[in-house]
Structure 1
Amino acid sequence: MATAPIEPPQRLVSSLSSDPDSAAQEWLRALPTLVQQRLDAWELTLERVHAPGGRSSLVALVRQQDGTPAALKLPVPGAGSAQQAAALTVWDGWGAVRLLRSDDGSGALLLERLRSAVSLRSLPEAKALLEAAGTVRRLWVPPGAGHPFETVAGRTEDAAEALRTAGANVRAAAPLVDEALELRRALPAGSDEEFLLHGAFRQGKVLAGERAPWLATGPAPVVGERAYDLAALVLDRFEDVMAGSGAAAAARRRVAKLADALEVDRDRLRDWTLYRAVDTGVREVAAGDRQRGELLLEFAAWL
C-alpha cells in the first residue's frame, strides 16, 4: 500500500508537455493509477518517487514484501521497456542492474535498488573513464540465438534520413554531415562483430551499487560492434576535454587510449565517434541547443 502521494516528477512532465502524441499525455495522466496498480500487484510499499528523475520514465523507490529495497520503473509507452528487460535478463546482473520482475502490459520493471545519487560523474574525469571502461566491457556478451534486439546497421539506417534532413539546416556542417553519412553507410558492412551493446552508455548511467561498486542502468540495447558503444564513452563529458589546453590532441588521445584499453580498432572507433558526434550535434542544433550542438560538431572536426 502506498505511503506517499504519487506525483510525476516535474522533469518528466516538462519533457512530455511539448509532445503532441496524445498517447504520451494520456499515459502521464494515468501514471499515478498505473504506479498504484503495480504496487498492489507486486505487493510493494512505496517510499517515494525519485526526483528529479528522467525524461522518459518514472522511477519510484519501493520495498518488497520481505523489506528488500528495490526500484519500480514505469517507462513512457514505446520507450523500449521490453528490449530493456530482455537485455537485463541476458546480463543477469553482470555489469548491470539486476531485473527482478517485469510486466509486459505496462512495461513496468522492478529493479534492484542502486544509489541513484552517486554515478560515475561524481568521480574525477580520469578515474570515471577507467571505471566506465571496465563496466562497459562486462556488458559486451553474445546476444544469444534468436535474440529480439535491433542491429547497429538497422538503428543507424533509421537515423540516417533524419540526419540528412536536419543537416540541411546546418549549412556550415555540410562537409561533416556528408562524411558522417558515408561512414554510416560503410561502417556496418566492415565488421562481423555481434555483441549485445548497452546502446546509450555514458558515465551518468553507471550508478553505485551494494553487490558491485558500479552497475549500468537504462540501456537502449542493440547488437553490433563494440566500437559503436565505445564511441558514446569517447564523447561523454567532452566539454571537459574541450575546456583544456591542446583540446584537439586530447580528443584524439582519448580515442586511442580507450581503443587500446578495450582492444578495439582505433580507426573504427574514431569513425564511429565522428558519426555519433555529428549525429548528436546536428540534432542538438535542430532542438534549439545551438551551443552544445556546435561544440559537438567542432569535436567531430578534430577527429
Structure 2
Amino acid sequence: MEVPERLGWWRDRAGGVAWLESLPRLAEECAEHWSLRLGEPFGQGHVSLTVPVALSDGGQAVLKLNFPEEESASEADALIHWRGEGAVRLLELDRERNALLIERADPGTSLWEVGDDEEAILIAASVMARLWLRPPPDGHRFRLLAGEAERWTAQPRSDWEALGRPFEQRLVDAAAAAAGELAGSLAKLAVCHQDLQGSNVLKAQREPWLAIDPKPIVAEPAFDVASLLRDRRWSIDRAIIQRRLDLLAAELDLERDRMQGWGVVHALHWGVGSDKIEPDLVECARLLAA
C-alpha cells in the first residue's frame, strides 16, 4: 500500500515518521482481523489514512487509521454516542491501533458540491441538529469547552507575541474577551462535532447527508457552528458570514452574538500556532469581529 503524499506533513511532528511507516502494516493487520479486502487509499484526506474496504458479506466500509493524539482519541466515542443519527456509523474499533471501521457514505459527494450557499448552510444545519439530539452521556471522556476556552484565552496571545505580533492586537483581545464571557454562561450542552463544514458532510443513502471526521467536544450548540461560518473561506466576505449567521439563528434557534463570538475564538485558536499563522483563518476572525 502506498501512503498518500498528502499525509507527508506528519514527518515534521514527533512520532510522525514512525506512524507513516507503520500504516501499511496496520492496514494489513486490520484487514486480517476484520476480514476486509483493502482498496487504494483515498487521496484527498490529509490528517488520517482512509481506505475503502469490502466486508466479508460484500458490503462496503471505510478503514480509518488516526495518528495517536488527543484530538482524534474520542472520535469513536462520538460516533458511538450519535448512533448513526446525522453521522456515519462506527462498525468496529481497535483503540490499540487507532483504527476505526466506519460506514461508507455513498455516493460520498461532499457538501462543497452544492453550489448555492444558502442551501448548503441549511443542509449542514439539519445535520448538526441531529448530532445535538442527545445530552452528553454520564461519565464521558470528551473534552469540555469550559476548560478549553480558558486555555484559548491565553494561548493565541502567547503565540501571537512569539511570532512578532503578525496582525492587529484587537483580534487577540476580542477572542480573549469573547472566550471569557461566553464560557461563563454556557447554554444547554451537547456532544459537538467542532469541524462540521463542507468537506466533512457527505451525501449518503441511509440519510441524505452524513457527517464524518468529528473532533468532538462537549459544548453549547452555538459553538459548533464556528467552522461552518467560515466554510469555503477562500471565497467568503463579511456579507456572506452575516447571512450565514442570520440563517443559522433562524434555523437552529441560536443566539447570533454567541455564534459570532465563538466564531472569532475558534478561528483564531486554529489560525495561530506556536510556529506559524494561517492567514485565511485570521482573516475569518477579522470578518467575524468586524
TM surpasses 0.5: yes
Of the candidates 169, 172, 178, which is equivalent to residue 177 of structure 1? 172
Count of aligned positions: 286
Contact 2:90–2:103 (Cα < 8 Å) also in 1: yes
The secondary structure found in structure 2 opposite 1:118 is coil
Q: Can you list the C-alpha shifts for 1:195-221, whole angstroms capped at 9, x where unaligned?
A: 111122111100111211110000011
Q: Distance in 1 between matches of 2:73 and 2:239?
A: 41
* One-letter amino acid matched to 2:267: A
Q: Report the residue type matching 2:160 in the other structure.
A: G
Q: How does 1:158-237 map to 2 (within 5 A)?
A: 158-168=151-161, 169-170=164-165, 172-237=167-232
1:149 is matched with which residue: 142, 150, 153?
A: 142
Answering whether residue 131 of structure 2 is matched by residue 139 of structure 1, we say: yes
Local SS of the residue matching 1:177 = helix
Alignment partner, residue 287 of structure 2: 299
The 3-state SS of whatever aligns with 2:46 is coil
Give the drift of 1:267. 1.6
1:7 aligns with 2:2: yes
State the SS of the aligned residue for 1:147: coil
By how many angstroms is 1:37 displaced?
A: 0.5
Structure 1 residue ranges without an equivalent (≥5):
1-5, 243-247
Amino acid at match of 2:245: V
Residues 19-168 of structure 1: pairs in structure 2 closer than 5 A: 19=13, 21=14, 23-52=15-44, 54-78=45-69, 80-115=71-106, 118-124=109-115, 125-140=117-132, 141-168=134-161
Ranked by relative contact order (alpha carbons within 8 Å, sequence separation 6 or more), the top structure is 2
Question: Are 2:111 and 2:202, in contact at CA under 8 Å, matched by a contact in 1?
Answer: yes
- Are the aligned partners of 1:24 and 1:77 in contact in 2 as well (CA < 8 Å)? no
Contact 2:194 2:226 in 1 (8 A): no
Report the Cα offset of residue 275 of structure 1.
1.9
Distance 2:289 2:193 in 1: 26
Unaligned residue ranges in structure 2 (runs of 5+): none
SS in 2 for 1:25: helix
Q: CA contact under 8 A between 2:109 and 2:203: conserved in structure 1?
A: yes
Letter matched to residue 91 of structure 1: W
Aligned to 1:215, the other structure's residue is in SS state strand
Deviations 1:60-112 (A, max 9, x none): 11111111111000101115444111110111110000100001111100011
Per-residue deviation, 1:31: 1.2
- Equivalent residues of 2:108, 2:204 under 8 A apart: no
TM-score (norm 1): 0.88
Deviation at 1:227, TM superposition (A): 0.5
With structure 2 as the length reference, what TM-score do the two structures score? 0.91
**CA deviation string 1:238-266 (max 9, x = no partner):** 44332xxxxx3443232122112100111
Per the TM alignment, residue 175 of structure 1 is displaced from its structure 2 partner at its CA by 1.2
Q: Give the deviation of 1:289 after TM superposition.
A: 4.3
Contact 2:142 2:218 in 1 (8 A): yes
CA separation of 1:161 and 1:294: change in aligned 2, threshold 3 A: closer
Deviation of 1:179 (Å): 1.5
Partner of 2:10: 16
Aligned-partner SS, 1:100: strand
Q: Is the 8 A contact 2:105 2:204 kept in 1?
A: yes
Within 2, Cα distance between the matches of 1:165 and 1:230?
Answer: 26
